[in-house]
Amino acid sequence: MGLAYALAGVFLAVVLSGIGSAIGIGTAGQVASGAMTEHPEHFGKYLILVALPGTQGIYGFAVAFLFLLKLKGFEYMITPHMGWNFFFGALPVAFGGLVSAIYQGKVCASGIMLTGKQPAESAKSLIMAAIVEFYAILGFVISFFAWLWPLSQSFE
């Protein structure tokens, strides 16, 4: 049963952060497509802002990969308590990635509109999007620290 809890956490880390990234990229991509009808020469600047919400999905994937590596070889020794440790350890990157990617996509969409009207100000939109990214990084760091927690601590 413990392995099922652990794998559910791994699943949530990948799926929720991936859903957030897909929504964020979709939001920014729609605006970029419209903006390119007027200013196709800004494609490079738009591309960075469209791709930025995709990093949350990468964070979720990285945490899931690390958790799976840690589980390998211990599959039959994972107690329910240990499984819950993995499950809750994955939640910061899962929910942090979901929410921050969606809102980062909205910030990036606004930044694309700013870049279309004032190309010299595109760096400001990138900075605003990076502020939202910070919260995804916090979720990743907390989940990473959960990965560092030794399995032996869970046996007590």
List pLDDT tens digits, range 36-48: 999 999 999 999 9
- Could you tell me how many residues make up the chain? 156
Tell me, what's the pLDDT at 149? 75
Tell me, what's the pLDDT at 30? 97
User: For residue 154, is pLDDT > 70?
Assistant: no
Task: Say if residue 18 is exposed, middle or buried (CB neighbours under 10 Å; 0-12, 13-18, 19+).
Answer: buried
- Can you give the three-state secondary structure of the chain, one letter per residue? CHHHHHHHHHHHHHHHHHHHHHHHHHHHHHHHHHHHCCCHHHHHHHHHHHHHHHHHHHHHHHHHHHHHHHHCCCCCCCCHHHHHHHHHHHHHHHHHHHHHHHHHHHHHHHHHHHHHHCHHHHHHHHHHHHHHHHHHHHHHHHHHHHHHCCHHHHHC
Architecture category of domain 2-151 in CATH:
Up-down Bundle (1.20)
Mean pLDDT over 138-150 rounds to: 88
Q: Over the stretch 90-143, which tens digit does the pLDDT of each residue have?
A: 999 999 999 999 999 999 999 999 999 999 888 999 999 999 999 999 999 999
Euclidean distance between CA atoms 58 and 13, whole angstroms: 10
Mean pLDDT over 57-67 rounds to: 95
Within 13 Å, how many C-alpha atoms sit on residue 70's CB side? 26
Q: Over the stretch 5-47, which tens digit does the pLDDT of each residue have?
A: 999 999 999 999 999 999 999 999 999 999 999 999 999 999 9
Tell me, what's the pLDDT at 92? 96
Tell me, what's the pLDDT at 141? 95
Torsion sign across C-alpha atoms 70, 71, 77, 78: positive
> What's the token pair of residue 29?
């991509």
Mean pLDDT over 74-93 rounds to: 88
Tell me, what's the pLDDT at 144? 92
Euclidean distance between CA atoms 53 and 109, whole angstroms: 11
Domain boundaries, the chain: 2-151
